[in-house]
C-alpha cells in the first residue's frame, strides 16, 4: 500500500466514499446496545416496556434505508444495575442483511 491518507467525518462515510462499502457500521454499533440514532430515523416503534422494537435509518452519505429490528430482550447485569439488551438484532439494507445473535453479554469493566 502507498502513503495515501483518506479523511471523512465518520467511518461509515470513509468506507462508502473510498471503498464503496455502504454498510453503516456506526448504526450496527448503536444497535447492539439497543440505541436509536438521534438523527436520520423514521418509523420508530417500541415495546410496551419502552425498549426499541424497530426503526428505519437513512444513511446521510448514501441515502440508503436500513431497517433495524430488535428481539428477545433479556436483563443483563451491569455495574450500575441491570439493563435490558436485545439478544437478536436484524439489520436489513438494500444490498446486505445482517443478523446478530448474542448468546451472552459481559458488561464488566476490566482493567
pTM: 0.78
Task: Give dist(CA 72, CA 102) in Å, integer.
Answer: 10
Longest pairwise C-alpha distance within the chain: 53
Q: What is the mean pLDDT of residues 40-67?
A: 91
Q: What is the pLDDT of residue 79?
A: 78
Does the pLDDT at position 1 exceed 60? no
Does the pLDDT at position 77 exceed 90? no
Q: What is the pLDDT of residue 111?
A: 57
29-59: burial string, b at 16+ Cβ within 10 Å, e else: ebbeeeebeeebeeeeeeeeeeebbbbebeb
pLDDT top residue among 19 and 36? 36
Q: What is the pLDDT of residue 2?
A: 61
Amino acid at each position: 500500500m502507498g502513503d495515501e491518507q483518506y479523511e471523512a467525518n465518520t467511518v461509515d462515510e470513509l468506507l462508502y466514499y473510498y471503498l464503496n462499502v455502504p454498510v453503516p457500521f456506526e448504526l450496527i454499533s448503536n444497535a447492539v446496545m439497543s440505541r436509536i440514532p438521534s438523527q436520520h430515523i423514521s418509523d420508530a416503534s417500541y415495546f410496551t416496556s419502552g425498549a426499541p422494537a424497530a426503526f428505519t435509518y437513512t444513511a446521510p452519505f448514501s441515502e440508503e434505508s436500513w431497517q433495524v429490528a430488535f428481539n428477545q430482550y433479556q436483563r443483563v447485569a451491569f455495574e450500575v444495575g441491570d439493563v435490558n439488551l436485545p439478544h437478536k438484532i436484524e439489520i436489513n439494507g438494500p444490498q446486505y442483511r445482517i443478523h446478530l445473535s448474542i448468546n451472552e453479554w459481559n458488561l464488566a469493566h476490566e482493567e
